[in-house]
Structure 1
């Protein structure tokens, strides 16, 4: 299987693929020079992408169109086996009708938290809602933390067309895990999914939970339908984030077509 990786740190994923006799990494690149990956996708390679911190929608769509159903965006929390249980429970009516999604994520990644953290929460919401389009986006940001011009904290609220509302708390933290927590609230019950639970051993706190990167790569290489966001889901997430930046600048909600 030929694989291309579109990431600022492709070695993170390439390391997990190294040694697999059936996998050949044929191209790696960042979004600032993504043409080698685009050509590999057009030639039939399977493509694993990270969300771009800054890119035109036309560039993102070019990669999505070239990758087709061979394209997966790296959103590790979507691959958690615990998340699969949560999704099934919601689909089976375990919490009644889903009305509200609350989420939080602390990230140590560079750049603004809307671009670095929001996609991982939005992807979880998109998966639970089955690709329901967003109707309205509202965001507030500040750059008090970290001393950088990019936003270091944000609150993002998304209203979906079927009436559900998602609200996310995003922060930059040098000790941030980059693993999201979401609470899904229905009209009968609620359930929480924590992609990076703390394990207490009496001495210190350790990040526990599943090996999400291994689960991501497993699903990426599988022939079946992967639970991670495909190109169309990534475009939905990208448009929400662009609307969030506009809302943060204007102080007003932004309607999506």
Structure 2
């Protein structure tokens, strides 16, 4: 299998893939250009991408069009048995009709928290909502911890077509696990998914639970049931985040076009 990797730190993935049988890494590239995705797609490679730290929608769409169904975005929390159980329970009516999604994610990564945290919360909502498009986005941010233009905390509310609402709280902390916690609320109950539960009696600085990065790679290579967010999911996420920046700037909710 030919694999290409587009990431802010491509060697982190390449190191895990090297030495695996029947895996050939044909390209590794950082997020300074979209051209490697087109070239990898032309070579017939499957492409694993992280979300770009900054992009124009036209560039991202061109990358998605080039990658086709061979393009997967890295979103570790979407993988593993725990989230699979949550999804099946919700789909099976275990909490009744889903009405509200509440999520939080704290990061130690550089950059504004809207860009480095919200995609991974939106991916979980998108998976449970089967790709339902967003209708309206409202966001508030502050830069108290960063001291400059990049936001250090954010609150984002997304109203989806059909009436479901998601609200996310994102912030920066040196002790962050980098794993989301999301509660799905229905009219008969609720269920919480914690992608990085703290280890009891262990190192409190590290998340416990499943090795989501390893499971992501397993699923990507075809050994698991979950492909992860595809290009269309990434475009939905991108449009919500761009609307969030606009809302934070204007102080007003932003309506997305039909199908956005």
TM-score interval, smaller chain: over 0.9
The alpha carbon displacement at 1:204 in A equals 4.9
Q: Which residue in 1 is equivalent to 2:33?
A: 33
The alpha carbon displacement at 1:43 in A equals 2.1
After TM superposition, the score normalised by the length of structure 2 is 0.95
Deviates more, 1:231-240 or 1:58-67: 58-67
Unaligned runs of 5+ in 2: none
User: 2:177, 2:205 within 8 Å by CA — same for their partners in 1?
Assistant: no
Q: Which residue in 2 is equivalent to 1:76?
A: 76
Q: Which residue in 2 is equivalent to 1:173?
A: 173
Query: Runs (4+) of structure 1 moved beyond 6 Å?
Result: none
CA distance in 2, matches of 1:202, 1:181: 20
What does 1:126-145 correspond to in 2, within 5 Å?
A: 126-145=126-145
Query: Structure 1 38/203 Cα, relative in aligned 2: closer, same or farther at 3 Å?
Result: closer
User: 2:103, 2:167 within 8 Å by CA — same for their partners in 1?
Assistant: yes
The alpha carbon displacement at 1:30 in A equals 2.1
CA distance in 2, matches of 1:6, 1:138: 30
Q: How many residue pairs align between the two structures?
A: 257
Deviates more, 1:115-124 or 1:62-71: 62-71
Q: Aligned with 2:32: secondary structure?
A: helix
Does residue 120 of structure 2 align to residue 117 of structure 1? no
> Alpha-carbon deviations, 1:156-202, whole Å to 9, x = none?
00000010000000001122111000000000000000000011217
User: 2:14, 2:25 within 8 Å by CA — same for their partners in 1?
Assistant: yes
The alpha carbon displacement at 1:151 in A equals 0.3
Query: Structure 1 38/188 Cα, relative in aligned 2: closer, same or farther at 3 Å?
Result: same
User: 2:4, 2:27 within 8 Å by CA — same for their partners in 1?
Assistant: yes
CA distance in 1, matches of 2:203, 2:247: 44
What does 1:163-202 correspond to in 2, within 5 Å?
A: 163-201=163-201
Q: Which residue in 2 is equivalent to 1:49?
A: 49
CA distance in 1, matches of 2:49, 2:79: 15
The alpha carbon displacement at 1:50 in A equals 0.4
User: 1:200, 1:206 within 8 Å by CA — same for their partners in 2?
Assistant: no
